[in-house]
C-alpha cells in the first residue's frame, strides 16, 4: 500500500465527505421542491382539470422501441399537480410501460432536477390544451343546444297533437 491508507480508511474518508454534503443536498432539493410547489399551487387555483405531458428526456432505443421522461400536469391519487413519469414501449408490439406517475415532490430526485428546465414547455402545452378544449366545449354546447331546441319543438308538437286528439 503505497499511500499508507487502507480501503476501510478510504471509505471512512468518503463517508465523512458524504455526510457533510448530505445536509446541503437535502436543503437544496427541498428548496427546489418548495419553489415548484408555488407554481403547482397557482395551477391548482386555476382549476383547469386537464392532463398534459411533455417529454424532457428521450431514452436511447432503437425503433420501434421508444422511451422518454415526462413532466406533466395530472391527477395522481386524487390530487391534481405537477407530476413526473417515465414511459417506454415498443410500437410494433403495441406495448407500453410506465414508472410513476409521481407528484413532483414524490418523484426521484434526479428526475426532478432534470425536469424543471421543461416547466415553461409544460405551461405552454397546458395553455394550448386549455384553449383547444374550451373551443371544443363551445362547439359541443352549440350542438347540444340545437338538439335541445329540436327535441323541445317535437315535444311541444306532440303535446299539441294530444290536446287536439283528446277533444
What is the tens place of the pLDDT at every residue in 112-146?
A: 999 999 999 999 999 999 999 999 999 999 999 99
pTM listed for this prediction: 0.79
Provide the percentage of residues in the chain whose pLDDT is more than 70.
96
Q: 93 in a domain, yes or no?
A: yes
- Residue 101's closest CA among 142, 69, 58, 59? 69
Provide the percentage of residues in the chain whose pLDDT is more than 90.
77
Number of folded domains that form the chain: 1
Q: 138 in a domain, yes or no?
A: no
Q: 112 in a domain, yes or no?
A: yes
Task: Find the mean pLDDT for residues 65-75.
Answer: 96
Q: What's the mean pLDDT when you consider all of the chain?
A: 92
Rounded to whole angstroms, how far apart are CA atoms 46 and 27? 29
Residue 99, judged by CB atoms within 10 A of its CB (0-12, 13-18, 19+), counts as middle
Range of the domain at 75: 7-118
Amino acid at each position: 500500500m503505497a499511500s499508507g491508507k487502507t480501503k476501510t480508511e478510504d471509505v471512512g474518508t468518503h463517508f465523512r465527505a458524504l455526510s457533510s454534503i448530505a445536509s446541503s443536498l437535502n436543503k437544496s432539493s427541498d428548496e427546489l421542491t418548495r419553489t415548484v410547489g408555488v407554481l403547482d399551487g397557482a395551477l391548482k387555483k386555476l382549476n383547469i382539470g386537464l392532463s398534459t405531458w411533455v417529454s424532457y428526456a428521450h431514452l436511447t432505443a432503437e425503433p420501434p422501441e421508444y422511451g422518454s421522461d415526462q413532466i406533466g400536469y395530472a391527477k395522481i391519487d386524487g390530487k391534481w399537480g405537477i407530476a413526473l413519469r417515465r414511459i417506454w414501449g415498443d410500437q410494433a408490439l403495441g406495448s407500453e410501460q410506465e414508472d410513476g406517475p409521481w407528484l413532483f415532490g414524490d418523484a426521484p430526485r434526479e428526475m426532478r432536477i432534470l425536469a424543471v428546465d421543461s416547466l415553461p414547455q409544460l405551461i405552454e402545452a397546458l395553455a394550448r390544451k386549455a384553449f383547444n378544449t374550451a373551443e371544443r366545449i363551445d362547439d359541443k354546447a352549440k350542438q347540444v343546444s340545437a338538439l335541445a331546441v329540436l327535441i323541445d319543438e317535437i315535444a311541444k308538437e306532440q303535446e299539441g297533437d294530444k290536446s287536439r286528439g283528446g277533444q
